[in-house]
Chain A
């Protein structure tokens, strides 16, 4: 912490003194670099943090600059008024460019945003309003009482302040709730949705942030160069910007800044040989994605890892502590009262295949319900329908007395439903603690305005969340793993993290999809204890499981599925005697029922 403060203070002094050592050309270069740094931070937020491929960042930059230019020269507005209006225009464009992200992701999104960026350049090159290929010159100097901003030395300080604010805000977002949800969505949008993250809104937020940064950079650019022309906002600069973010390290905002500074300096150094510079940074981009996907920002970590391995140190010796049961909630009697979940005549068809055929079941509050059946009998499909991943072809799902058929997963999660996944879906690039924090955080994405107006409240809330996360980790015996990446943990511990995460979302109904798969005997025993304690704390549990010993001992009622139909339901002993069940279990189980990964596009 102390070294961080020292480094920060050193950088601040250096930045303050920098202009004194530079000639007028060098300060111009520095000013342009700062603008690119702001752009890179915006792109890093959208692409690196939120995982939304955005090849239109340079168009946001262009909209900001052009709008300022047009408003000052055509409409005679003052520079700052124009700048503010330009920012609004950029944000609107940003939201338009972002809408395709609601439907498509990854490559498709890349090409759509690229196409829209090209459409923008096409428009400014042709439109009268934007001055055609010549662009717009004679943008007035921004005025500031007592400061002559036509001096590039003084303009530097203006830019420096804006840049520091932009970076600080970016870091603030990344390290608190909103950023965690964005990162969770990047790592696994399905699991993030199932934990209540409003995926569509978060995607729009990513583009909103990118466009704000792009717009700010554009306004600064208009004030600095005082001339805009189409080629500054073309595809070549987009790829340069992309190179900055990738080489610097897209997941780290500091990395993006480092990438922007270094790449621009190299380009300036090779200013007489622009094609060689282009060749070089293109090649470096390729090398970085193959050999160092975390970019420059990830290098220290990799070096440390390497050193540790050289010294022959193995991984941490952290041990799993025992689970500390929840306090039992008094007055809970299982199996009575109005049902918490009612599934009526649900049918799910995948083209020709009928995965679920008129399935009906009701689950009473406080119950532990087992769902068993041979592989391919539709158990996971049933879970996917209940938790909103699939919209059933027919039938209804009522949760807590409300018809929530086909609601999006995040609505169901917010209504009080939580689940785990058969093939473990932890957020890979978040730590164990952050995985829990994502589930604990119930703040709405629309409440993100507080990041601007009430940052203190956001910080306070975040501290409270951290405290509760430590509680959860302690209860599940995971404290020693808090700062580790889930991928580095043994399988059994990952399973426990996923259960802890699902329960941290404070559900009234918990769906566990094969929680005992891959666990050893002792771990299964602990699991049974954990599930029982969760139920005793007032949560209804539905569990899909193949481990019949566990199901028989744990569940009060069992539903048996075979071929997409319910063939039996009742108490464990009674079900085990049903001839249909015995037949179904002696039948073959050649099919597999992996959790279907539903492609974004076909949703």
Chain B
């Protein structure tokens, strides 16, 4: 029991990161019906930016993160702008377009930061605290707190602001949204920007947990996607639940299958998609694939 609980706790912080990645995927998907295959690469860029500002310019961790979010937000805007001519026309082509952007970002990361990775020290004291005999790293708590705050802010934005409501409208019916005067392109651009910002947040947070390398985003991207699917693509509570579930699954498979943990995770994910493509909280109305 103790070991199981410890495994779960070990998975939760990575799970929170997956949830942030999944939120980015879901937000873009529910707004424009597109899976952004460059999302994982944006995570990598975010991780490198945050760690660069944190390590070399000695900015405080939080500030470094904000700079990273701003820069990747810009990248998101660029991706959306370039692919806009394809919106609502050919999703397969758009999907390939985002893969193209992923290839470009991957090359840029290697050009700027090199092919080797870097370790990022934890910004908070690393001694774990003990609660009821369970060891919890303080940094895990930081990750959880930030992820929770980001989610709450996102939900408030979507439900309480005019811009957010407009995005919800586009998600439900882009033609009707156009008819009542909503600028669909701008709404999509904001979704992409926020999605990229969430990716940077995830990348920045994961830096001290994992080794930052060009391959980081690939794994995080696909696990984040698995999380989004598991929860129900396009659903915000689904992304959170899915992220935590994948994190915990990861932690278990790493313990039981060592090197094969990725294999097991992907197989489980494939089976889930076959059995229930709409996920746990799937909202059929937003499913457009």
Contact = CB atoms under 8 A, between A and B. Distances in A.
Nearest to A239: B103
A536 to B, nearest CB: 42
B51 interface: no
A106 B95 contact: yes
Count class of interface residues, chain A = 35 or more
B273 A242 contact: no
A286 B287 contact: no
A68 to B, nearest CB: 22
Contacts of A201: none
A303 interface: no
Given A53-B95, A275-B110, A104 B289 contact: yes
B165 interface: no
B40 to A, nearest CB: 10
Contact of B104 (A125, A242, A286): A286
A246 to B, nearest CB: 6
Interface string B60-103: 00000000000000000000001101100011111111011111
Interface in B202-242: 218, 222, 225-226, 229
A126 interface: yes
B44 interface: no
B235 to A, nearest CB: 14
Nearest to A280: B107
B95 A100 contact: no
A356 B273 CA distance: 31
Interface string B278-289: 100000100111
A531 interface: no
A103 B267 contact: no
Nearest to B37: A110
Given A115-B226, A119-B262, A599-B287, A290 B101 contact: no
Interface string A96-108: 0001100111111
Residue of A105, A108, A116, A281 ringed by the most chain B CB atoms within 10 A: A108
Contacts of B269: 112, 115
Nearest to A246: B96
Task: Specify the main secondary structure of chain B where it touches its partner.
Answer: helix
Contacts of B1: none
Contacts of A51: 92
B140 interface: no
Nearest to A125: B259
Nearest to A602: B284
Contacts of B222: 111, 114-115, 118
A283 interface: yes
B96 A115 contact: no
B274 A53 contact: no
B115 to A, nearest CB: 8
Interface string A222-246: 0000000000000100010011001
B106 interface: yes
Given A111-B222, A286-B100, A286-B101, A279 B289 contact: no
Contacts of B274: 99-100, 103-104
B106 A108 contact: no
Given A100-B273, A293-B90, A602-B287, A282 B107 contact: yes
Contact of A107 (B91, B97, B107): B91
Contacts of A53: 92, 95
Contacts of A601: 277-278, 287, 289
A375 B111 CA distance: 60
Contacts of B29: 107
B86 A289 contact: yes
B273 A103 contact: yes
Contact of A282 (B102, B218, B287): B102
Contacts of B229: 108, 111
Contacts of B97: 285-286, 289-290
Given A119-B266, A122-B263, A290-B85, A235 B101 contact: no
B263 A285 contact: no
Contacts of B270: 100, 112, 115-116
A557 B4 CA distance: 70
A169 interface: no
A110 B34 CA distance: 12
A238 to B, nearest CB: 10
A537 to B, nearest CB: 39
A235 B218 contact: yes
A279 B107 contact: yes
Among B82, B97, B102, the most chain A Cβ lie within 10 Å of the Cβ of B97
A112 B86 CA distance: 23
A290 B287 contact: no
A51 B99 CA distance: 17
A94 to B, nearest CB: 15
B154 to A, nearest CB: 22
Given A116-B266, A289-B86, A293-B93, A283 B100 contact: yes
B129 interface: no
Contacts of B99: 239, 242, 285
A207 B102 CA distance: 25
B95 A107 contact: yes
A407 interface: no
Given A115-B270, A118-B266, A290 B284 contact: no
B225 A111 contact: yes
Interface string B25-59: 00001000011010000000000000000000000
A381 to B, nearest CB: 17
A49 B273 CA distance: 25
Contacts of B289: 104-108, 599-601
A334 interface: no
A275 B100 contact: no
A278 interface: yes
Contacts of B101: 282, 286
Given A279-B111, A289-B83, 13 more contacts: A51-B92, A100-B270, A100-B273, A103-B273, A110-B35, A115-B266, A118-B262, A279-B108, A282-B106, A282-B107, A285-B96, A599-B289, A602-B284
Nearest first, the 5 A-B pairs at minimum CB distance are A282-B103, A285-B100, A282-B104, A126-B259, A279-B107
25 contacts: A100-B270, A100-B274, A107-B35, A111-B222, A115-B222, A116-B270, A118-B262, A122-B263, A122-B266, A239-B99, A243-B100, A246-B100, A275-B111, A278-B106, A279-B104, A282-B102, A282-B104, A283-B100, A285-B96, A286-B83, A289-B94, A289-B100, A290-B85, A599-B284, A600-B289
